[in-house]
Amino acid sequence: MIMKFLNHSISFAALAAAALLIPTATLAADAAAGKASFNANCSSCHGESGKGDGPVGAALQPPPRDFTTGEFKFDADGDGTPGTDADLTAVISQGAAAFGGSPLMAPWPTLSEDDVANVVAHIRSLKQ
């Protein structure tokens, strides 16, 4: 009986450990690849450093979000917490106007799901 319990406990522990090793979307995202996409698509407004100080962004009202603060406005998925990865993904994919924000933050439907996840990972890396 004890041996059966130990074998079951060991199997459960192995399963739990394996679950920790399965990458999630956030862990699987590539911030370096996201930086390349960000620089190509977002930096003209948000700036290469993400401070909202890109050359086009200087003329925009409201100004582009400063990602270095790590503060976000939209709760696009309605979970009560603004600025989750799902929120950032929705704003990038659908634009801020879809969530009551500025239409100047245009949607980027041409980016793949992986590209958006990578951009989100890069945006997270900008917080100072």
Determine how many CB atoms are found less than 10 A away from the CB of residue 106. Answer: 14
Q: Which tens digits make up the pLDDT trace of 70-119?
A: 999 999 999 999 999 999 999 999 999 999 999 999 999 999 999 999 99
pLDDT number for residue 7: 44
User: What kind of fold does domain 26-125 have according to CATH?
Assistant: Cytochrome Bc1 Complex; Chain D, domain 2 (1.10.760)
Q: Which tens digits make up the pLDDT trace of 25-61?
A: 445 799 999 999 999 999 999 999 999 999 999 999 9
For the chain, domain boundaries: 26-125
pTM of the model: 0.78
In whole angstroms, what is the distance from residue 84 CA to residue 73 CA?
Answer: 10
CA 18 to each of CA 15, 23, 42: distance values in angstroms, whole numbers, following the listed order: 5, 10, 37
